[in-house]
Amino acid sequence: MMKQSLFSLSVRKSLLLAVLVIMAMGACKSKKKVVEAAPAPVVKEEVAAPAPAPAPVAKSAEEVAVERLETQFNAIASSANSTTANQTIQEVLGMFANQEVPVFIVIHEEAGVKDYDEPTTIKKYAEYLKDTKKNLNYISDIRLGAGGKVTELELRRK
């Protein structure tokens, strides 16, 4: 008799355990279905107003002077005749504090130490451009003095 009650108790426990497992699995599925059935929240995309166009950046006096000098140096080098070149040279000289403003041409730089070609003046450099008809340098540094006049010019090879 003992075996029979032990067997029936064990069957009951197994049956009870199976029902609990099925209910637990069913509960998980129902939660999953509820989660899946819930509609996804609608995310409204905000229409970003177009960013206002950036305000034109005001150029510094040095940048304006560099652009103007580069244009004029190219005009001197590419002038068709000496009269036109001389007129442009006079315009260039008007931008400088005087005709003897130094012009330095960097020929080599290593570890921040610069080697310069023989220093010249703006008058001589402008005449050089007119004679060679080649502008092989660009402005790498410019110093402006009182009244916005150029007091020093540093050039580099293009």
Tell me if 132 sits within 8 A of 77, measured CB to CB.
yes
- What's the confidence (pLDDT) of residue 56? 73
CATH class of 61-157: alpha beta
Task: Give every CB contact of residue 114 below 8 A, 6+ residues apart in sequence.
Answer: 106, 108
- What's the confidence (pLDDT) of residue 66? 95
Tell me if 122 sits within 8 A of 139, measured CB to CB.
no
Q: What is the domain partition of the chain in residue ranges?
A: 1-40, 61-157
Residue-wise pLDDT tens digits, 91-140: 999 999 999 999 999 999 999 899 999 999 999 999 999 999 999 999 99
3-state secondary structure 111-147: CCEEEECCCEEHHHHHHHHHHHCCCCEEEEEEEECHH
- For the entire predicted model, the pTM comes to 0.64
